[in-house]
Every structure is written in C-alpha cells, then in structure tokens.
Amino acid sequence: RQAAESEGYEVRGYAPTTRAAQQLSESGIQTETLQKFLRRREEAPEHQNRLFVLDESSLASTKNIHAFFARLEAQDKVLLVGDIKQHQAVEAGSPFEQFQKHGMETAKLSKIVRQRDERLRQVVKKLSASQVKEAIDSLHKQGRIVEIADDGKRLPGIADAYCKRPENTLVISPANKERGLLNALIHRQLQQEGRVSQPDHQMMVYVNRQDMTGTERTFANSYVPDEDIIRYNRVSKVYGFNVGDYARVAATNHEKNEITVQTAEGREITYNPARLSGVNVYREANRAFSQGDRVQFRAPFTEQRVANGELGTIKEIKDDEYMVVLDSGREIHFEHDSFRHIDHGYAVTSYSSQSQTVDRVLVNANAHESDVLLNQRMGYVAVSRAREDAIIFTNSADQLRAAMDRSVDKEMAVEALRQSRDRDTLSREEWERLVGMSNKESHAEQSFDQGSMGNSAASGGGDKREARQEIELELNS
C-alpha cells in the first residue's frame, strides 16, 4: 500500500466476504465488499491512477469478476490475492483459477508463516500441493488422527476435547447438522463445568434453508407456508420491499407459481418468485444462550458493523439485551429481536472458517460424507487455520485418506469445449494413421473436417446451454 501510494496511486481494497474485507481493512487499505462496490452507482474516478486489491479472489464468481473488470479504466491496475487450492465461489465460475491457467502473471508466496509447529507446517505444505494422502499419513504418525466409528461417541469426544482447552480453539465440521449438534454438546458441557452461566436464555434465530438452490427459490412449490421466512436483499418498488425487509410465507399457488407473504406490519403481497430475485430463505429455530457462550454472526449486522461469520463472546444478557465482545475487542449491544442471524460459535463450517486463524483446530471428518462437503479443499482450509495444533476426528482412518483426497474442482464450459476439441484431434490423428493410401487420405480428411465441425457445434451448444443455466442460477441466487 505504502509503495503504491508513494507512486501516486489511490489504493482501494475489496473482498467477496465481509469478514475478508474487514481483515484487509486492518492493513490500512480502505476496503469494502465486492458486492457493495458493484451495487453502488458508477461514478467518474477522482484519481487518475488507481490500484484495486481484491482479497480472497478464489471466492469471487465469474459474474462479479466480470462486472468488476467492466468498471475499470484503461490506466487502472488490479492485484488479485488468494489461493486457488482453497474454497471456490459458491456461485458459478472460478475466474481466479482460470486466469492463472491461461497465463496471468502471478507472484507466489511459498513460505508458510502461520503454522508455528514445524511438523504441522509440513502437513499444510503437502495439503497445498494436493499431496493429501501423504499429509494424512503424517498427521497419523504425529498422533493427530483420532478414530471413533460411532457418531454418538465421536461428536461428544470432539466436544470433550474442546472443553479441555477452549481458549483459541475452533471446531470445524463440514455439515451444518453436525455443526449444530457439536455446538449444543459443547454449550451443555461448558455449563456443567461452570465455564458459562447456568441460566439459559431462549432466543428464536433464523437458520438458512441450505436445501434450496437459486433455481428452486423461483418456484412456488419450494416454499412452505407458515414456516419459511424470506429476507429481501434488493429494493422492489413494485412490491414495496426495501433491502433487509422480512416476510413470512403465508400461502403458495403452484398452478400460477405465486406465493403470498405477510410482513410484520400485516401487509400481504402476492407475487411470482421468479420475478423477484435476490432473496434468502430461512426457518426459525430455538437456541439457548448463556453468559460466556461463544457466538457467531451468520449474516452481516450492518447497524453494528459486524461481518458475516464474525465470532464473539456473550459478556452479559440483561432482560432482552445482549452484550457481546467481538474477537476484535469491540463491544456491541443489541436487542434479541433486532437481529436473529446468530448461533453458537464453537463449531463452524470450513467455508465459514476461511480467513480465520486460531491456535488449535478440531476437525470433524466423517469419511462417509459426500464429496461436496469432504474433499481436498475442505481439508486444506480446515487444517491450515491452526497455528499450533490440528486434530482430525474421523469414523475411519483408512477411508479418510481417499475421502479427503477427492477433487471438487468446478468444470468450466470453456474447458469442456477444449477437451472436446482435443478428443476430436486425437480421433483425426488415429484416422490418418489407419488410412494408408494418399488418395484416400485426402478424402478421409475432408470427411473428418465436416464431421468435426458438426461435433464441435453440438458440443459447444451443449456447453453454452450449461453455462447459461449456471448464469441463471447465479442471478436467481
């Protein structure tokens, strides 16, 4: 930053997540989320020379990167920072990785400084190089793999390990269901040990309906009346919604593909969900909080300047007011009904843990989990959060090596088209090898070219349709 500013550049920072943006701002760079920048009306630049720094670039989608670049001036410079081995964007595309594959000039930092323990540093180095099985073997030799086949015993075992040394310890579990169970187990055990206060304060929180995709949110039959709560993230003058408004689903009409929602003020609005994108869907759930509990904010708390995923500790609960000390040291106060996107913060998902650093990590890794949740990226992100120690609890040490070695790289339409063309080229070479006579070679080549054009067109059309579906899914989400 200082070097760029000394050369006359205005330095601005962006990140795909509020937590990453907050951490980048701690370096002295004026930072905001990429989405907030893109939503703001485009204005003429005040400075001629600008340097944009985009942190955690692997989490940025193709749509947002394209919109970001479209706003740049010819003289602007962009520095993309991130790790292509960590989690990719939830939305369509992996542009940061694609840029590097296609020749973007890249400077790499090879020295690992987070891990203070040399043996753990070597494990992280192997995970970063996709040497997963070797990394798991190293952890096993170091006594950092704990095998407990029964879920009913493994989860309490993780909770017990946390409670023995809770200071600067984080539990990472890929599935939300097990994350919730671990949080409840740890909360109860800490109460029994007197580390958090005994009285429970019940709070109705909002839990994201992660079973709904962006496309499913456009269909009325995906919603459940009286249960689903919708948060609107975009202004709609037609229906009278502002950013941050909530409404409960009151009724659905499958034939017309319409839902009827009711706001807190009693307004009832009926609309086609396909025509109103930019929403999140939640369900209500009860949580018991006590003084001393660790909590995580599961959505941005704009009024209090709290990032999505930020952690803190409940200092006091008085009547309906919560006093929370964030890990940054800042203290906030809020009424329990003013913000319901909060949960226990002992166990988090690997996506939520990205950008965090703690002394000790306890990883719940059920080898039977799907490859969407347990894979190379999850293992690398989870283990690399720790400075001093990382312990993996699994149902099968033998199966863990293969389960965590699964690759979940996104398949891009452009890569599929290239592979299709490569296959066509190989077929052509094979055909020419088999045809011996020169006069037949000419005829065969002409025939192949015509067939190849047809195959390429068909393949390209399919890839375009797939890419279009991904873009539509992104827009709906």
The model's pLDDT over 332-374, given as tens digits with 9 standing for 90+, comes to 999 988 899 999 999 988 877 877 889 999 999 999 888 888 8
Neighbouring-strand partners of residue 348: 172
Percent of the chain with pLDDT over 90: 38
Residues 247 and 267 in one domain: yes
Name which of 166-175, 261-270, 397-406, 450-459 the model is least confident about.
450-459
Asked if 146 and 258 sit in the same domain, the reply is: no
Does residue 459 form part of some domain?
no
The reported pLDDT for the residue numbered 445 is 35
pTM: 0.71
Q: In the predicted model, is pLDDT for residue 420 greater than 60?
A: no
At residue 85, does pLDDT exceed 90?
no
Q: How many domains does the chain have?
A: 3
Domain end, chosen from 405, 423, 457, is at 405
Lowest mean pLDDT among 9-13, 136-140, 412-416: 412-416
**Same domain assignment for residues 130 and 201:** yes
What is the Cβ-side half-sphere exposure of residue 245, based on CA atoms within 13 angstroms? 20
Indicate the SS3 state at residue 256.
coil
Mean pLDDT across the stretch 313-322? 92
Do residues 320 and 171 both lie within one domain? yes
What is the C-alpha separation between 26 and 28, in angstroms, rounded?
5
More confidently predicted of 143 and 308: 143
User: Within this chain, do residues 195 and 314 fall inside the same structural domain, yes or no?
Assistant: yes
Domain that holds residue 228: 207-283
| Predicted confidence (pLDDT) at residue 148 exceeds the cutoff of 90 | yes
pLDDT the model gives residue 21: 77
Residue 108 lies in a domain: no
Radius of gyration of the chain measured on its C-alpha atoms: 26
How many residues comprise the chain? 477
CA angle 407, 62, 379 (to 5 degrees): 25
Question: Is 452's pLDDT higher than 50?
Answer: no
The answer to whether residue 466 scores a pLDDT higher than 60 is no
Question: Contact at 8 Å (CB) between 218 and 311?
Answer: no
Are 339 and 370 members of one domain?
yes
17 pLDDT higher than 70: yes
Instruction: Determine the pLDDT at residue 460.
Output: 38
- The whole-number pLDDT of residue 2 equals 74
pLDDT above 80: residue 161: yes
Are 30 and 79 part of one and the same domain?
Answer: yes
String of DSSP letters for 327-391: TTS-EEEEETTT---EEE-SEE-HHHHTT--EEEEEEEE-TTS-TTTSSHHHHHHHHTTEEEEEE
Cα–Cα distance for residue pair 375/132, rounded to 1 Å: 10
Most confident of 52-56, 125-129, 469-473: 125-129
CATH number of the domain to which 137 belongs: 3.40.50.300
Whether residue 461 is predicted with pLDDT greater than 70 in this model: the reply is no
Mean pLDDT of the chain: 81
